[in-house]
Amino acid sequence: MNIQQYQLVTNLISGSTTYEAKIAQIFNIKTDKDITKVRTELEKLLEVKEYKLGKSVKFMGKTWKWETDLLDSTFEQWSRLDQLLSEEDNIRNLHKLLAIYFRPCNFWGRIEPYNLQSQDKIYEMLLQLDMGIATALMVFFYQNVILSLKFINITYLKEKMNQKKMEKMMKKKEKLKRVE
């Protein structure tokens, strides 16, 4: 199942009498066969398989990589991330969220720079991404955010400790000057 199919399935209203028919239509399953075979085929298609994420992903004939240094993000990336998260519809925006930090590599194997003009093309491509890969990427993204926040906190705490040490040293110097 790819992202686009997952979005369509999650948009269906549960309890609808045409729920299974709509899913069969989304996945192009022929419903003229035995209903148990149709249901079995649907269950196989709706299963999201676990994916082990490596350093890169081969997808649509290109190598894609994850931009890991969130602290070096551009203003456009931060503002786009903020905008998408504020919409509170992360399922519908999953491909757009991924496109902010998950992009194809160029000829030299480096991630293409974030570019607002190319984002629509990347969005469309990522709609075809397997849901297992998308889920693994989102887990990686959240882990990366947590590590970045820890780094920020550690850096801040170290700076505060150094500042307190400097204040103590300055007080000692002042005391020594007064004694002389």
**Domain shared by 23 and 79, yes or no:** no
Q: pLDDT above 70 covers what percent of the chain? A: 79
Tell me, yes or no, whether 30 lies in a domain. Answer: yes
Q: For the chain, first and last CA: distance in Å?
A: 79
User: In the prediction, which pLDDT does 15 show?
Assistant: 46
Round to whole Å and give the CA distance between 11 and 26.
12
Average pLDDT, whole number, for the chain?
78
88 occurs within a structural domain: yes
pLDDT at 91 over 50: yes
How is 77-143 classified by DSSP, letter by letter? HHHHHHHHHHTT-TTTTHHHHHHHHEEEB-TTSPBPPP-HHHHHHHHHHHTTSBHHHHHHHHHHHHH
Domain assignment present for residue 164? The answer is no
pLDDT, average across residues 4-22: 60
With a cut of 70, say whether residue 111 has pLDDT above it.
yes
Q: pLDDT band for position 177 (50/70/90)?
A: confident
Answer yes or no: is 94 within a domain: yes
* pLDDT higher at 92 or 13: 92
Cross-strand partners of 111 = 105
Identify the domain containing residue 61 by its residue range: 57-149
Answer yes or no: is 159 within a domain.
no
Question: How confident is the model at residue 172, as a pLDDT?
Answer: 80
Chain-centroid distance of CA 76 in Å reads 16
Check residue 20 and give its pLDDT.
Answer: 65
Instruction: Identify whether the C-beta of residue 97 lies closer than 8 Å to the C-beta of residue 81.
Output: yes
CA nearest to 111, candidates 73, 152, 149 = 73
Q: Are 47 and 132 in contact (CB under 8 A)?
A: no
* Count of domains observed in the chain: 2
Residues 31 and 92 in one domain: no
- The tens digit of pLDDT for each residue in 35-75 reads 677 667 777 776 766 667 677 888 888 898 888 777 778 88
Listing DSSP states for 161-176 in one string gives: HHHHHHHHHHHHHHHH
144 and 61 housed in the same domain: yes
Q: Are residues 70 and 119 in the same domain?
A: yes
Amino acid at 70: L
Same-domain status, 87 and 131: yes
Q: Which amino acid is at 131?
A: M
Residues 26 and 91 in one domain: no
Q: Which residue, among 129, 135, 152, 134, has the nearest Cα to 69 in the 3D structure? A: 152
pTM of the model: 0.61
Q: Is residue 177 a part of any domain in this protein?
A: no
Considering the domain architecture, whether residues 37 and 65 belong to the same structural domain is answered as: no
User: Does one domain contain both 96 and 134?
Assistant: yes
Does residue 83 fall inside a structural domain?
Answer: yes
Q: At 143, list the tokens.
A: 């882990």
Locus of tokens 């925006």: 93
**What is the distance between the alpha carbons of residues 158 and 179, in angstroms, rounded to a whole number?**
32
